[in-house]
A = this chain, B = another copy of it.
Amino acid sequence: MNSDRFPLPTLESLPEDIRDKLLAVQQKAGFVPNVFLKLARRPDEFRAFVGYHDALMLKEGGLTKGEREMIVVATSGANNCLYCVVAHGAILRIYEKNPLIADQLATNWRKAAITPRQHAMLSFAMKVALDSRAVDDHDFRELHAHGFTDEDAWDIAAIAAFFAMSNRLANTVGMMPNPEFHLMGRVPRDRKGG
């Protein structure tokens, strides 16, 4: 993939609201994730993407933030999206304080060390990601059997659907994960502090 096809913009060239957003992220994370820089080339799409992402990932609801990231990592693994697997794998490890969970979910979610409820959640998410044409009442009943409501089902489906979009975009425009993501959440705190 020719990495110069969609060159990253300079911070100075960006609209103020987007530049502010990028600087805020940089302050918090220590670096600017490539997805933000890549999408910032197109301000309207950037704003809609970030707005949609936040509406799904940061809202209150029946799923924990870690569980939402589980959906992202498992479905992104199935879509072979390098950027999303590595970047959201890092976030998932941190949320769950579990250095192994992201590799498990990205490689084969069925073998991951998760609860039966989370297994049902991912089973539904994977069907939305890979075979949504066949989703039917039976699938909702399976979710209900594990305590999920219909609104939870919408949340799960919306996250799987949003990353169906995100995975395809990242795969096509050649987005590479920042190297920092690969290690985040893998090393115990005291070791890093060493």
Residues of A within 8 A of B (CB): 1-2, 5-6, 42, 44-45, 47-49, 51-52, 55-56, 59, 77, 79-82, 85-86, 99-100, 103-104, 106-108, 110-111, 128-129, 132-137, 140, 150, 153-154, 157-158, 160-162, 164-169, 171-174, 176, 179, 182-183, 186-187, 191, 194
* Closest B residue to A157 using CB positions: B172
A-B contact pairs, 30 of them (CB 8 A): A2-B140, A5-B150, A42-B154, A44-B51, A44-B55, A44-B59, A45-B158, A52-B52, A77-B107, A79-B132, A80-B107, A80-B133, A81-B133, A82-B103, A82-B108, A82-B111, A106-B106, A108-B133, A110-B133, A110-B136, A128-B171, A128-B172, A132-B168, A132-B171, A154-B172, A157-B172, A160-B168, A165-B165, A186-B186, A187-B187
Main secondary structure of the interface of A (DSSP, over half): helix
